[in-house]
Structure 1
Amino acid sequence: MQDKLRILENIKTIDFNAFDVRLWIIKKSTNAGQHSYRALSASIDGLDADLVATLRKFFFGVEQQVEPIRELSAYSALTVDTDEDRALVHTVDATDFAAIINKINLGADNEPVTDIQEFHNAWALVVEFKFNEHCFYAFSKVKGGWNLKRVSTISSWTFSDGDFKKIDVCNTFSFRNYFDFIAFGENVFIRDKANYELGLNIREGLEAKRDVLVDALAEHGIITSVDDLKIAIGNNKTLLRRLVSAEETRYFEDQQFIEDMKAIIVEHQWEINVDDDGKFVIDENNIDLFLKLINDKRFISLIKKQMVDADRVEIVQPANNAD
């Protein structure tokens, strides 16, 4: 992670005021489970400073509002919500963000927005910031898509110079003034994990890996039934995360780990049975415990001496002995 921290420090030396800013409206369509994207260029007038300020806030924070990024953690299937001064780091090619950026990089070949109706059901905003060799792609998810058919029942007024004035809101859009995640080079810096996963089809990626990993467990002689395990996991995001995290640990490839796991199950009388061939019999009643154990995520706390489950684990390095 030290190399990512160096990238972060280099970002902080860039002259943000020199950026050329372009706004892209992203449309998404799905056919037979396959997603495709369009990037529509939108002309902006007087918004550059606001968007650059939002980019700066993402990295540097704003006093008493948003903490600057001080620490980084690698994004993984079981990443939990982070501290306010910590961002997650993932790779651009790991999600659909690469396809979206490729569309944006078509530049003038993309259609411009010329009619307000083209904003209808927009899926996301991406702001492109360029200066010399530096390029950022900042993503902001449009929750639910802009729906131009909605009729507002609220009248908007402004107060200036002692007078109230009515504002025509028919062509007014709301921007959250906050980016969910930003691509820079091959890295994606994430400050809103939920929108990152919502925007870039993380669940679908997990479902694809589910089938691969279930087959791997079967090939290693660990489970009795591929179909039963797939059905037990289904599309439950928590279970999918736990299964996919097994790809990172790969403890299931260690036969001694599996034998130790069986012994612990017997010792504590947990309801995970094995068949005559020593394979685990998994169903919807024990799948949660099985996935925790296969990832070694059940512990005895040092102080309370209680057994606990923890999806996020950080190895504690022993303290150096004093001379």
Structure 2
Amino acid sequence: MPLPQNLLDYDITNASVTVWLFKKSGGTGGTVPNYNGRWITTTDALDTALRTAMQTQRDQIEETIPFSLLAQNNEASALAIDTLETHAPIVAEKTHAPLQDKAVRSLQQIQNTSFYVIRLVHNNIPLLGVRKTDTTWQSKKRRMKIDVVFDNEGLTLDEQPAFSLSQYLDFFIFGEQIFVLNKSNFESVLHYKAAHEEDFAALRSQDEFAALFSDMTAIQTYVGTNKIHLRRASAIRQKGHYLDEEFMQRLRAGFARVGLNIEFDNNGRIVPTIDTCPDIFQALLDHRLTSSFSETNYDVQDATPII
């Protein structure tokens, strides 16, 4: 699907610009992250450059794809997700009014910024562009560098602290929707990876899931803190195929026919190893498919049922 028409028609060129810098803390153990935002004064030239970056990014989006744990976009698409499924409303609310007590007053308030928000407003309608910061914002990283500039055909020491604002965005927040351009950074800013870790812990403790296996040590080692494997574990829990006894019976009867490398014990339980975990996950996700035409087996990233 294309972007919503009101976003395509949004007048970025004539919108006002405010830049907000956010530091993020907490968010572990199921708690809501603490987002501390401050706005900073910008010049007209910088505002123009930021509008151009926002417009370029929006205009490159030719289609939107519904966000799912395993969905991926490309340079011409964005993943669409409702804001209420994320912590985005907290961030958006904090950028609503640039009060004086939230203005940046010192270098210390800039250093170690986690992400920044470019907030456009036109006809009282906000459009937010969000980007995770790079290492130029981290005080520890900066202590390892000597900043220089090219001047008078040579290099000279740059004594003014410099920070980079990218021409690329990680996601837009517009109305009740988010349009994700960089999934990894989106997950980091809004703590989606933390949610996946909690999902995996809940999945492992579920009796029905644990009963599928002779032992889950290999499963836990395989997933670890790998963000892709955590997403897949969350998707397994979300899909819930393992709760369907008929699905599991068909898996036990047909895994070899579709080329899956899975071992079962005498009680019908899966015996996981690090080598077989990828195939176990493909099976529980129902992502090993057979073409009706070529009769070839394929692995897919995501599967959308056709009704």
Match of 1:25 among 8, 14, 21: 21
Q: 1:310 to 1:115 in 2, by over 3 A?
A: same
Residue 10 (structure 1) aligned with residue 6 (structure 2): yes
The answer as to whether partners of 1:135 and 1:184 remain within 8 angstroms in 2 is yes
Amino acid at match of 2:50: L
Give distance in 2, aligned partners of 1:209 and 1:106: 35
Equivalent residue of 1:280, what SS? coil
Q: 1:219 to 1:172 in 2, by over 3 A?
A: closer
Equivalent residue of 2:13, what SS? helix
* Aligned-residue identity in percent: 19
Equivalent residue of 2:166, what SS? coil
Equivalent residue of 2:247, what SS? helix
Equivalent residue of 1:208, what SS? helix
Comparing 213-222 with 139-148, greater Cα deviation is found at 213-222
Q: TM-score, normalised by structure 1?
A: 0.79
Amino acid at match of 1:245: A
The answer as to whether partners of 1:21 and 1:130 remain within 8 angstroms in 2 is yes
* Mapping 1:69-218, distance limit 5 Å: 69-80=61-72, 82-105=73-96, 107-108=98-99, 110-144=101-135, 145-147=137-139, 148-152=142-146, 154-157=148-151, 168=158, 170-216=160-206, 218=208
Name stretches of at least 5 consecutive residues in structure 1 with no aligned partner: 61-67, 318-323
Comparing 252-261 with 308-317, greater Cα deviation is found at 308-317
The answer as to whether partners of 1:127 and 1:138 remain within 8 angstroms in 2 is yes
Comparing 191-200 with 175-184, greater Cα deviation is found at 191-200
The answer as to whether partners of 2:17 and 2:121 remain within 8 angstroms in 1 is yes
Equivalent residue of 1:178, what SS? coil
Give distance in 2, aligned partners of 1:158 and 1:95: 50
Give distance in 1, aligned partners of 2:203 and 2:55: 40
The answer as to whether partners of 1:275 and 1:281 remain within 8 angstroms in 2 is no
Give distance in 2, aligned partners of 1:17 and 1:29: 34
* Mapping 1:217-236, distance limit 5 Å: 218=208, 221-225=211-215, 229-236=219-226
The answer as to whether partners of 1:156 and 1:167 remain within 8 angstroms in 2 is no
Give distance in 1, aligned partners of 2:12 and 2:51: 7
**Structure 1, residues 243-283: CA drift from partner, whole Å, max 9, x if none?**
2122443322332211110101355683321452x333334
Corresponding residue for residue 56 of structure 1: 55
The answer as to whether partners of 1:274 and 1:280 remain within 8 angstroms in 2 is yes
Q: 1:209 to 1:94 in 2, by over 3 A?
A: same
- Shift of residue 44 of structure 1? 1.2
Q: Considering only aligned residues, what root-mean-square deviation do their CA atoms show, in Å?
A: 3.2
Q: 1:129 to 1:217 in 2, by over 3 A?
A: farther
Equivalent residue of 1:198, what SS? helix
The answer as to whether partners of 2:130 and 2:171 remain within 8 angstroms in 1 is yes
Q: 1:48 to 1:195 in 2, by over 3 A?
A: same
**Structure 1, residues 105-127: CA drift from partner, whole Å, max 9, x if none?**
36417521122232111111111
Q: 1:114 to 1:30 in 2, by over 3 A?
A: same
The answer as to whether partners of 1:218 and 1:224 remain within 8 angstroms in 2 is no
* Mapping 1:31-42, distance limit 5 Å: 35-42=33-40
Give distance in 1, aligned partners of 2:251 and 2:65: 29
Amino acid at match of 1:298: R
Give distance in 1, aligned partners of 2:230 and 2:254: 24
Q: 1:215 to 1:166 in 2, by over 3 A?
A: closer
- Shift of residue 313 of structure 1? 3.6
Q: 1:292 to 1:189 in 2, by over 3 A?
A: same
Equivalent residue of 1:242, what SS? helix
Name stretches of at least 5 consecutive residues in structure 2 with no aligned partner: none
Q: 1:291 to 1:165 in 2, by over 3 A?
A: closer
- Shift of residue 218 of structure 1? 1.9
Give distance in 2, aligned partners of 1:229 and 1:275: 20
